[in-house]
Structure 1
Amino acid sequence: MRTLLNSLFVLSEDVYLSCKDDNVYVERGKERVGSVPLRSIEHILCFSYKGASPALMGRCAELGVSLSFYSPWGKYYCSIFGENSRNVLLRREQYRIADDESRALSIAKSFVIGKVFNARWVLERARRDHAMSINMERVTGQSHLLADAIVSVRAQTSIDALRGVEGRAAQDYFYTFDDLILRNKDDFFFESRSRRPPMDRMNALLSFVYVLLAGDCAAALHGVGLDPYVGFLHRDLPGRESLALDLMEELRSVLCDRFALSLVNTGAIKSSDFEERENGGVFLNDKGRRTVLAAWKKRKDEVLTHPFLKEKIPWGLVPYVQALLLARTIRGDLDAYPPFMWK
Structure 2
Amino acid sequence: MGSTRYIMSIGELTRKDNSLCFRKNGRNVYIPVENTKEIYCFNEVGINTKLLDFLSQNHIIIHFFNYYGGYSGTYYPKDHYLSGKLLVKQAVKYQNDRMDIARAIVKGIGVNIYEVLYHYYKHGKKEVKNTIDWIKKSFFPQVVQAEDVKELMAYEGEVWMRFYGDFVYFLPEDFVMNKRVKRPPDNPINALISFGNTLLYTKTIAAIYQTHLDQRISFLHEPSEGRFSLSLDLSEVFKPVIVFKTIFDLVNNRRLQVEKHFDKQVNYCVLNEEGRKIFIESFEERLESVFMHPKLKRKVSYRTALKLDCYKLIKNILEEKEFVPFSLKEGM
TM-score range, shorter chain: 0.7 to 0.9
Any idea what SS the aligned residue of 1:224 has? Answer: coil
Any idea what SS the aligned residue of 2:263 has? Answer: strand
Q: How far apart in 1 are the matches of 2:294 and 2:211?
A: 21
Give the residue type in structure 2 aligned to 1:159. V
Decide whether the 8 Å contact of 2:243 with 2:283 is kept in 1: no
Q: How far apart in 1 are the matches of 2:229 and 2:241?
A: 20
TM-score calculated relative to the size of structure 2: 0.74
Q: How far apart in 2 are the matches of 1:164 and 1:68?
A: 42
Decide whether the 8 Å contact of 2:33 with 2:58 is kept in 1: no
Deviation at 1:157, TM superposition (A): 2.1
Deviation at 1:90, TM superposition (A): 0.6
Q: Which runs of 5+ in 2 are unaligned?
A: 4-31, 37-56, 64-74
Specify which of 240, 249, 265 is matched with residue 277 of structure 1. 265
Give the structure 2 partner of residue 89 of structure 1.
Answer: 85
| Bigger mean CA offset, 110-119 vs 226-235 | 226-235
Cα distance per residue 1:61-113 (max 9 Å; x no partner): xxxxxx9945799x9756534xxx7x11111111122233xx01001111111
Give the structure 2 partner of residue 322 of structure 1.
Answer: 309
Q: How far apart in 2 are the matches of 1:312 and 1:98?
A: 33
Give the residue type in structure 2 aligned to 1:331. L
Q: Say what the alpha-carbon RMSD is for the aligned residues.
A: 2.8
Decide whether the 8 Å contact of 1:210 with 1:256 is kept in 2: yes
Specify which of 192, 198, 202 is matched with residue 211 of structure 1. 198
Give the structure 1 partner of residue 218 of structure 2.
Answer: 231
Any idea what SS the aligned residue of 2:214 has? Answer: coil
Give the structure 2 partner of residue 80 of structure 1.
Answer: 80
Give the structure 1 partner of residue 40 of structure 2.
Answer: none
Find out whether 1:341 has 2:331 as its counterpart: no
Find out whether 1:266 has 2:253 as its counterpart: yes
Deviation at 1:321, TM superposition (A): 1.2
| Bigger mean CA offset, 113-122 vs 152-161 | 152-161
Find out whether 1:146 has 2:135 as its counterpart: yes
Q: How far apart in 2 are the matches of 1:12 and 1:215?
A: 16
Q: How far apart in 2 are the matches of 1:337 and 1:318?
A: 14
Decide whether the 8 Å contact of 1:199 with 1:282 is kept in 2: yes
Decide whether the 8 Å contact of 1:307 with 1:341 is kept in 2: no
Give the residue type in structure 1 aligned to 2:87. R
Closer, same or farther in 2 for the Cα pair 1:220/1:76, shift >3 Å? Answer: farther
1:46-195 equivalences under 5 Å are 49-50=33-34, 69-70=59-60, 79-81=79-81, 87-100=83-96, 103-129=97-123, 131=124, 134=125, 136=126, 138-147=127-136, 148-181=138-171, 183=172, 185=173, 187-195=174-182
Q: Which runs of 4+ in 1 moved over 2 A?
A: 67-73, 75-81, 305-311
Decide whether the 8 Å contact of 1:124 with 1:143 is kept in 2: yes
Closer, same or farther in 2 for the Cα pair 1:50/1:250, shift >3 Å? Answer: same
Q: How far apart in 1 are the matches of 2:91 and 2:58?
A: 22
Decide whether the 8 Å contact of 2:290 with 2:299 is kept in 1: yes
Percent of matched pairs sharing the same residue? 24
**Count of residue pairs brought into register by the alignment:** 270
Decide whether the 8 Å contact of 1:68 with 1:223 is kept in 2: no
Any idea what SS the aligned residue of 2:270 has? Answer: strand
Q: How far apart in 2 are the matches of 1:275 and 1:308?
A: 45
